[in-house]
């Protein structure tokens, strides 16, 4: 295709796009059936304890209570990558807030009162909150003494009789030689705390087991088919198979990874089986959103880098200690993905990386936008900036010198895909005016600039697949059935644009349906920034399949030369016959009538599927060499200019820029929106957000009063989104995903700008105004003593 008619013309395509989507909202009148019941959860007050006894008698006698369930009713494990978690705690609890029992009642207030009447006797056990305590040769306890018996994916390597749930080792080159060749060796440590997703919409799920044995779940989920699969696995002892479970998902009011996989939704599925014929609703409070859904994992990183005088990196040794929490059924794959890519977008010949997934008695960690990359990039890019400064090399030039290029060997032996990384660096530097000094006239203010690179690969199993059905209607309009989720990224619009490009039907005449696992075809999950690439390819193939059926019909029924046929303006045309124009609506349902009154054709239905058949997660467990665990990388760069009030530590941001190589921006406006949103979410994590736990492991700030997130008043004065396009060979029209990537470099650009302004390196997040002010005070006191 020499010219894309629809792709890139984002503004006209947005007009009328209210016709594109078929998102059914989670409204009050949604019919779950009569007699909706409500569940309240009995939670553990201890971070680590043995359950001695559960007395439900008082709760069961409370008027309005229908059923009380405990772990003995559901002794079933579940998990995406590792089966290490029970629906309800069995013999022990492992974090404060873990579900121990549930009370089902006819109204929420009665359910809550009933939960308060359930009496649980515990024997408190020694908890572990520090990753360093947990990985000692003889830790105080084993949080999961049965780790050796857990089922897990073949690319996980649990360390038996330890608190290490998974260890990803990467070895490349000759480390001894690499450090010998270095003129300098720089070592340091960096810390990233836990973070909350902070989606405005709470987690909610309704489950109903009808009298035919069909279990239906209504969820706000990024993963309807994966949820169905995990529900089936967990409830298989009750006789359920995949055909018996249906998941209906609506548009999601914020996900960021927090609504991927299965967390609280398993409760609605299980509880529905206890009250057959009645729908049961489980709704998380804002506090529960903080402490009993996935949190972003904490990270302690240790870095040792060998470098030549000219800035060439010769060796990298990196240990990543991940605070994965009480259960790692999803979070261990974050650790795995980060370990494989912990070099960042750099060409480094000699590597030793250990990415360590560690059980602690804090809430379970899991997927969060960036999937571990934001965490390790903070330390890596901060450290590289320090190295450049100590060598007297411009930080931008240091990055350009070592930036990975197409064909370079990755950490695990595969080759780097095409990318516009150097172009991203140059465009960011130009936009931020990297070489220009910005003088400040106020002695109480300091200004600084920071730069960082970023990259990310879709972290997904090698057989993660996408499918799409496309069907015409009588008027030539289209319905596209897919099972990826709209989570605010504009996915439904982009799928319509892809189909429109192939079939030349205006996007406003295309409706993309939200998932129902009974109706819509399979999709792994809406995670990993792979949907435009994976689902988009499936939709493109479905549209191409429909187009080929159309051309087949024209050849069969009308005798047209199919090689001369093409689609334009929702009509079939021919290069051989300029006057031939047959509107799609005239035949895509009814077919073509022949001279004898018979018909040819029938309803046109397209089918498309995509699986990355070239990917493999299998490799040498000691080196990670072999296989191809990542399908490709999306790369980019970001830079910032800040102003710091030296008395208060408050940071003002006059300008921030970010360039991302999108391969092909199918909808540039949506890409720019993702850039801006990623920047703002990243600024929240580095400047404001901070989860605080007490000495018992209780979260102290599970609310938006004490857990600060950015508001409109915190938006930078100027945000410059930059789109670079170096096509991804196997992406739809060259596109690749960019959704998570845009927040990944934000923490290090701020840290590097603070150091540039104050000559103070802050090595732990968040970099709050208080932390900056205290660092300035400490620096001044040291300088005063020296003088």
Residues marked active site are found at 740
Q: What are the φ and ψ backbone dihedral angles of 418, each rounded to 5 degrees?
A: -60, 145
In sequence order, what are the residues at sequence separation of 6 or more whose Cβ sits closer than 8 angstroms to the Cβ of residue 21?
251, 486, 492, 493, 511, 512, 514
475: exposed, middle or buried (Cβ count in 10 Å: 0-12, 13-18, 19+): exposed
CA–CA distance, 448 with 748 (Å, rounded to integer): 13
Q: Number of helices (H) and strands (E) in the chain: give both, helices first.
A: 17, 31
Check: CB of residue 485 under 8 Å from CB of residue 224: yes
CA–CA distance, 370 with 689 (Å, rounded to integer): 16
Check: CB of residue 651 under 8 Å from CB of residue 686: no
What is the chain's Cα-based Rg? Answer: 28
Angle, helices 224-235/265-274, rounded to nearest 10 degrees = 50
Q: What are the φ and ψ backbone dihedral angles of 171, each rounded to 5 degrees?
A: -135, 130
Give start and end residues of each alpha helix (H) in 646-768.
668-687, 746-758
* Residue 566 DSSP class: E
Reported as type and span, the H/E element at residue 204 is strand 204-209
Reported as type and span, the H/E element at residue 13 is helix 10-14
Instruction: Dig out the tokens for 342 from the structure.
Output: 């912990």
Instruction: Dig out the tokens for 229 from the structure.
Output: 């699969």
Check: CB of residue 210 under 8 Å from CB of residue 240: no
CA–CA distance, 545 with 563 (Å, rounded to integer): 16
Instruction: Dig out the tokens for 511 from the structure.
Output: 């409706």
Give start and end residues of each alpha helix (H) in 460-600.
491-503, 531-558
Instruction: Dig out the tokens for 515 from the structure.
Output: 């998932």
In sequence order, what are the residues at sequence separation of 6 or more whose Cβ sits closer than 8 angstroms to the Cβ of residue 271?
39, 67, 69, 102, 104, 207, 280, 282
Cα–Cα distances in Å, from 284 out to 74, 103, 260, 386, 453?
Answer: 20, 14, 16, 44, 37
CA–CA distance, 150 with 140 (Å, rounded to integer): 22
CA–CA distance, 159 with 289 (Å, rounded to integer): 31
In 3D space, the residue among 458, 460, 527, 454 whose CA is nearest the CA of residue 744 turns out to be: 454
SS3 152: strand
Side by side, the strands of the sheet bearing 565-568 are 565-568, 571-574, 581-583
Instruction: Dig out the tokens for 458 from the structure.
Output: 């879709």
In 3D space, the residue among 471, 463, 601, 493 whose CA is nearest the CA of residue 542 turns out to be: 471
**Beta strands, E only, 211-326:** 215-219, 245-249, 280-283, 298-307, 313-325
Tell whether omega for the bond before 766 is within 30 degrees of 0, i.e. cis: yes
In 3D space, the residue among 80, 494, 582 whose CA is nearest the CA of residue 590 turns out to be: 582
In sequence order, what are the residues at sequence separation of 6 or more whose Cβ sits closer than 8 angstroms to the Cβ of residue 579?
none
Place of tokens 């009370």: 103
Bridge-based pairing state of the strands 215-219 and 245-249:
parallel
How many other C-beta atoms lie within 10 A of the C-beta of residue 57?
10
Place of tokens 């530097």: 429
Q: How far does CA 85 lie from the centroid of its chain?
A: 21
């Amino acid at each position: 295709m020499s010219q894309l008619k629809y792709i890139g013309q984002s503004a006209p395509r947005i007009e009328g796009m209210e016709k594109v989507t078929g998102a059914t909202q989670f409204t009050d009148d949604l019919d779950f059936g009569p007699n909706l019941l409500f569940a309240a959860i009995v939670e553990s007050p201890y971070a680590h304890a043995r359950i001695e006894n559960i007395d439900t008698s008082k709760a069961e006698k409370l008027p309005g209570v229908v059923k009380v369930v405990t772990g003995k009713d559901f002794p079933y494990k579940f998990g995406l990558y590792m089966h290490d978690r029970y629906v309800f705690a069995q013999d022990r609890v492992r974090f404060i807030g873990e579900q121990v029992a549930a009370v089902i009642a006819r109204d929420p207030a009665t359910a809550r009162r009933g939960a308060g009447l359930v009496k649980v006797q515990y024997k408190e056990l020694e908890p572990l909150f520090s990753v360093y305590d947990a990985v000692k040769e003889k830790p105080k306890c084993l949080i999961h003494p049965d780790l050796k018996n857990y089922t897990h994916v073949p690319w996980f390597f649990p360390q038996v009789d330890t608190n290490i749930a998974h260890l990803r080792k990467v070895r490349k080159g000759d480390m001894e030689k690499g450090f010998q060749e270095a003129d300098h060796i720089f070592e340091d440590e960096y810390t990233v705390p836990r973070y909350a997703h902070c989606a405005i919409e709470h987690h909610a799920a309704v489950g109903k087991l009808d009298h035919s044995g069909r279990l239906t779940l209504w969820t706000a989920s990024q993963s309807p088919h994966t949820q169905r699969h995990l529900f089936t696995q967990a409830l298989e002892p009750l006789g359920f198979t995949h055909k018996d479970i249906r998941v209906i998902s609506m548009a999601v009011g914020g996900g960021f990874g927090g609504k991927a996989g299965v967390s609280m939704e398993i409760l609605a599925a299980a509880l529905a089986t206890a009250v057959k014929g009645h729908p049961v609703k489980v709704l998380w409070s804002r506090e529960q959103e903080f402490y009993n859904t996935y949190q972003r994992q904490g990270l302690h990183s240790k870095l040792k880098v060998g470098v030549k005088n000219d800035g060439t990196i010769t060796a990298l040794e990196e240990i990543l200690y991940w605070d994965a929490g009480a259960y790692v059924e999803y979070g261990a794959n974050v650790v795995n993905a980060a370990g494989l890519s912990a070099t960042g977008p750099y060409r480094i010949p000699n590597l030793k990386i250990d990415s360590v997934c560690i059980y602690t008695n804090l809430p379970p960690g899991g997927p969060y936008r960036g999937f571990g990359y934001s965490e390790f990039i903070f330390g890596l890019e901060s450290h590289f900036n320090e190295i450049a400064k100590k060598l007297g090399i411009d930080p931008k030039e240091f990055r350009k010198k070592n930036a990975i290029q197409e064909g370079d060997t990755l950490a695990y032996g595969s080759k780097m895909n095409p990318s516009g990384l150097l172009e991203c660096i140059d465009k960011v530097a130009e936009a931020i005016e990297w070489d220009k000094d910005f003088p400040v006239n106020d002695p109480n203010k300091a200004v600084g600039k920071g730069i960082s690179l970023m990259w990310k690969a879709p972290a997904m199993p090698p057989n993660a697949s996408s499918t799409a059905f496309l069907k015409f209607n009588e008027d030539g309009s289209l319905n596209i059935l897919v099972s990826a989720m709209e989570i605010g990224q504009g996915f439904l619009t982009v799928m319509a644009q892809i189909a429109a490009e192939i079939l030349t039907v205006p996007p406003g005449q295309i409706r993309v349906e939200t998932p129902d696992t009974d109706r819509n075809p399979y999709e792994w999950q809406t995670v990993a920034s792979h949907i435009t690439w994976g689902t988009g390819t499936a939709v493109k193939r479905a549209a191409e399949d429909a187009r080929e059926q159309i051309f087949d019909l024209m050849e069969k029924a009308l005798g047209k030369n199919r090689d001369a046929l093409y689609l334009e303006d929702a009509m079939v045309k021919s290069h051989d016959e300029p006057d031939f124009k047959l509107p799609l609506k005239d035949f895509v349902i009814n077919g073509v009538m022949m001279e004898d009154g018979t018909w040819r054709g029938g309803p046109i239905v397209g089918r498309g599927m995509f699986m990355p058949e070239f990917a493999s997660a299998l490799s040498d467990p000691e080196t990670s060499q072999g296989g191809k665990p990542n399908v490709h990388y999306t790369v980019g760069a970001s830079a910032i200019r800040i102003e710091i009030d030296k008395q208060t530590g408050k940071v003002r941001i006059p300008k921030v820029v970010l360039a991302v190589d999108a391969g092909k921006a199918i909808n540039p406006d949506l890409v720019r929106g993702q850039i801006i949103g990623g920047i703002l979410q990243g600024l929240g994590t580095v400047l404001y957000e901070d989860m605080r736990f007490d000495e018992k492991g209780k979260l102290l700030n599970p609310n938006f009063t004490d857990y600060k997130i950015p508001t409109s008043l915190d938006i930078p004065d100027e945000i410059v989104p930059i789109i670079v396009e170096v096509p991804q060979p196997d992406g739809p029209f060259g596109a690749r995903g960019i959704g998570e990537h845009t927040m990944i470099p934000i923490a290090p650009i701020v840290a590097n700008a603070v150091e540039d302004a104050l000559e103070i390196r802050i090595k732990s997040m968040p970099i709050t105004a208080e932390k900056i002010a205290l660092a300035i005070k400490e620096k001044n006191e040291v300088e005063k003593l020296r003088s």
